[in-house]
Structures are given as structure tokens and as C-alpha cells.
Amino acid sequence: MHRRRRLSLLAATSLAAALIVPGTAAADGAAPGKDPRLTRLLKAMTLEEKAAQLFVLQVYGKSADTTDPADVARNRRLYGVDNAAQLIARYKPGGIIYYSVDPANVDNPRQLAAFSNGIQRAALAQRVPIPALISIDQEGGIVARVQPPATQSPGAMALAAGRRPADARALAAVTARELRAMGVNTDFAPVADVNVNPANPVIGVRSFGSDPALVSRMVVAQVDGYRVGGVAPTVKHFPGHGDTVTDSHIGVPRIEHTREQWERLDLPPFRAAIERGVDAIMTGHLVVPALDPSGDPATLSRPILTGILRKRLGYRGVIITDALDMQGVRDKYGDDRVPVLALKAGADLLLKPPADASGAGLFPTQLRAVVEAVKSGELTERRLDESVYRVLELKRKRGLFRDPFADESKVDRVVGAPAHLAAAQRATDRTTTLVKNDAGLLPLRPGARRVLVAGWGVATTRTLGEELARRGATATVRETGLSPTQQRIDETVAAARDADLIVAVTNRAWDAEPSTPTEPHNGPGQMNLVKALVATGKPVVVIAVRDPYDIAYFTEAPTYLATYSYTAEALRSAAKVMFGELNPSGRLPVTIPVRDAPDQVLYPFGHGLGYTR
């Protein structure tokens, strides 16, 4: 961004700054402990503007003023507007969330910075100019909306395998600096769930692991790192999504922990984050009878959000719901009731309202429901003001009233900077875990050999093949998908006849059966593929590039590595370990149980092999 352009953008904040010029609580009539500058903003807002400030919305397009016909059509169905600029002008929402697909907001870092600046210009052009929260799910590992050239963190479980909170903190700071360079000021990370259920369909490697103490240390480190980088961290999913076999996107998870189990397993990372002063906490759409026997999901539970989170734990920051289009919060009440009940429960921000069966957006309906609830007295305006104040305070703390804009001229120097990429690779190199090396196959000696790389992931298998080729191998790649058919398996086994070595890549091979009749699952194909390749008698290295639990489903495989993610950095690290360029130092951050015997340990927490030098 040129200096003249930069100055013009900064000038757009002048009115907002004027509304929050320093003053005293006594002089402005503000309540004790309240920032008088923010209370002046509150007084300047209408009821409708206050209610809108509590919504974080998705929008289609890759610019604030998009005219792309497909994006315009989708935005009209959701909101009756063409683009983000019109959405903000009409409704004045508190924030926008970016997605990489449906809606596809992300193209490249410079485009995203321009998009963010367009959103902020629209927000500051309103009658009461208030900068927008611009948010994203950039957890690292398997959940990263912004792909390369942005730096890719190895993800939570991988970082926990490395056992270095300093790495977690450093990479969170890198992620935050790059996000802020693209105009994103809020990250829905880190995940504070303790993944004690190996069959968890939605958390898994997004969690730091199964040990509450380890998860707590890593969560606190990332909270610190995000804030150092200038982005608001958001721990999720309170009160804890780590022990479920139901995905809250498509069903209603029920956590059967006793109160004592919840206190011991789920609570510690959230408590640690609160004590660290975390900016925001995201609710989970989870029914937890031990905490609230009503059957309401936590997002709508006053005993959980107000009774436990606010009063008992003393949390004073922003509470944001998980997306309101997820089935876990829609089953019990109508969509028009959900936002009102969430606010009554204690939530502050309402994320991503749903669409109805025809595809028409329900945000206008939900916004009216909040306004009408205040007018009818069901929800007091004082209660509304409490949430709006917290949102404004978060924006002030993150410096958005001072300068919400990205410097477009510096994006390319910050995002994917060589120092950032090097830090991510160093950290990833400490995470790869050698779980099994019974045949003593690893480390491999460099040199010519014929290698078949087979299994899940077009980019994953190709990248591994390229890494092996750099070390002198002749690599043949056969991508077989999440659920290879018997024909595909037979073809792959036939291709293995000419190989000296087989590298088999798996991605949640354990996910062979659905947890519920409607739950998506991979099927048994990956397990059958590995078993068939091992049965050839050729040397086989199995690399699990997501959940480390796969080994329990083909224990006959003698050599097994866990990378916890399929980033290029993780695959490079795996290749280094295979050839002895790295002595594997990652240790399991979870316990791997025996298949069909969850109380029996196959590989314990902390297990990890190294090479004898």
C-alpha cells in the first residue's frame, strides 16, 4: 500500500477515534470500571445497531465490493445484498469470518489484505463508525484456511508431540503476525479440548492431546503467542469437546463425564487460558448432563455459560458461540429462538447464522428476534449492553480503534517470510514420532531403490514421492483415496511387485464404521490396503498423516510413523526421519488403545522411539 493510500485509510478512523477520546468515568457518567470512551459509543448506537454488533457473519466473494455474479447471487439469498460492503452498510454487523471454501474468501495474502481493508472502510463509513472483528479458523495442521505462501504451523497434536511450549508460542506468534498483515484480527484458535476419545470424529489432531496438563501448557503458550502477534486468540470448545463420537456439525454430542471427570479432564486448559487473560472463548454445542441436566447444549445453557464460566471461573472476556448453522444447536429450538437463548445464557457474539431449507439466510430473522426480545422485556437492554461493551472492549484491546487496516505494501514481506518458514520447519522436525520399528528398517540408507508410495492424498503422496526421489530413489506414486475399493487395492498390490520398498500413507484408517447412521466415514479400505501391502512380504513403512491411532487397526505393520498432519513441512520431516537425517524425537501426546478394547493400552502416552547413534 502506498503511503498516500495508507494515510487516507488511517484518516477513515478519525470519527471512531473522536468517539473514544480519553475521558473520565465520573465526567461521562460511565459505570465504575467501564471505559468512558466505550460507553459513549454505546450511547450513540440504536437498539438495532447494538444487536447487529453481536453477530459475526460469513459473506461470499473475495473482495468487499465483489460483482461476481455467483457471489452476488449467494449474498442476495443470505442477506438481500450484493457484497460485504453492502452487508455492512445495511446491517452493521460486529464482524466477518473468512472461509477457504463455501464461501471461498481466500485467494492469496495480498487479496485478503485488500478484502480486509474494504471491510474496515465500510465499517468506518457508518453513522457510528466501529471497526470490524475479522476472524478465521487458522489452527494449523489440518485446519488452515490460508494455505501457502502463508506459513503452515504443524498443528496442535503435532506441537504437543514435540513437547516444547516455546515452539507453540513462537508459531502462534508467527501465525498472528501473518494474519494481522492480511487484516485478520481474531483467530478461532487454539483448541483447548482434551482428546480422550480416539474415535472423536471432529477434534482428534486439532487437540494437543489426552493429558490435561500437557494441553494446558500448550494452550497457554499459544494464547501468549497470538497476543504477541497482535491477534485475539479464542480457545474452544467450552466446556470441552474431547470425549464424543458425534460431530456437532451434524448431530448433538452428549458428554457423559461426571462432574468430577469434567473437573479433572476438560476444565484445566480452559481455566489456564482464563487465568492467562484469553480474549475470547468459543462455546461447544454439547449436551453435558453433569453440568446442566436440562438437555440444552452448552451454547444455550445459563448454568454453564453464566453459572460456571462467568461466576465460578470469573471469566470476563468475550464468549462467542460456535457456528449457529451447526446441527448441534438447532435441534431443540427454532432458529429464531437460538440467538436470544444464547444471549440469555451468557454468550456475547453469535457466529454464522444458518439458512433455511430453501437456502434463504436467517440472519435478518435472528437479528429481529434479538431486537424484539429486548422490546418485549425477555432480554433487557442492560444485558445487551453488557455484551456490546465486551465486544467493543475486545476491539479496543486489539488496537482496532487506533488502526484496523492492513498495510498492503508489506504483506508479501510478512506472510511466508523466510524466517517464519524456517521456524515452522524446525518445530515440525521435532514432532515426527517413530511409533514402531520392529524390523529395524529405519533409518534407510541413501541410494537408489524402487519405492512405491501409495495411499491417501494426491498432494501428500506426490510430495513424499518427490522427497524420496531427492534422496536417490525411483518413486512410483499411486493415490488410492480415503476409501480404496478392492479393485484399487489389487492394482496397488500388483504395482508393488516391482518395488524394493513400500510407503503407505493413511488418514484416519480407524474410521471404518459410522458412529451414527448419518455420520460420514472412510470405510475399511485403508486398513485393507495396508494389510494387503504388508502381506506382499516387501518392506513397508506406514505413515499416518492425521490421527496416530491407525496402527491399532493393522498391528502386523512392522514400521509406523505418525506426523499428525499432512503439511509439506510434516512430510519433509517424515522423509528426514526415514533416512536418518533426523533422530525422531516426537512422543505420543495420546494413548493408543488396543482395537475394540479401549481400556487396554497398545502404545502409552509419551511413547516414541529414537535411533541408536
Q: What are the residue boundaries of the structural domains of the chain, listed by start? A: 3-414, 432-603
Which residues are registered as beta bridge partners of 349? 320
Domain 3-414 in CATH 3.40.190.10? The answer is no
Active site residue 607: no
Active site residue 243: no
d(CA 606, CA 226): 27
| Strand runs labelled E in 507-549 | 540-544
pLDDT in tens, 556-612: 999 999 999 999 999 999 999 999 999 999 999 999 999 989 899 999 999 999 998
Res. 520 pLDDT band, cuts 50 70 90: low
Res. 408 pLDDT band, cuts 50 70 90: very high
Query: What letters, b where the CB count within 10 A reaches 16 and e where it falls short, cover 567-592?
Result: bbbbbbbbbbbbbeebebbbbbbbbb
Region 432-603: CATH code: 3.40.50.1700
Res. 512 pLDDT band, cuts 50 70 90: low
Residue among 68, 249, 403, 521 flagged as catalytic: 249
- Between 246-255, 265-274, 385-394, 602-611, the lowest mean confidence (pLDDT) is in 246-255
Residue among 71, 82, 322, 547 flagged as catalytic: 322
Strand order in the sheet with 350-351: 318-320, 280-283, 232-238, 186-187, 133-136, 95-97, 55-57, 350-351
| Average pLDDT value for the chain | 92
Amino acid at site 59: V
pLDDT in tens, 324-359: 998 878 878 889 999 999 999 999 999 999 998 888
Q: What mean pLDDT comes out for the span 209-226? A: 98
pLDDT in tens, 290-317: 999 999 999 999 999 999 999 999 999 9
pLDDT in tens, 151-169: 999 999 999 999 999 999 9
Which residues are registered as beta bridge partners of 57? 96
pLDDT in tens, 115-131: 999 999 999 999 999 99
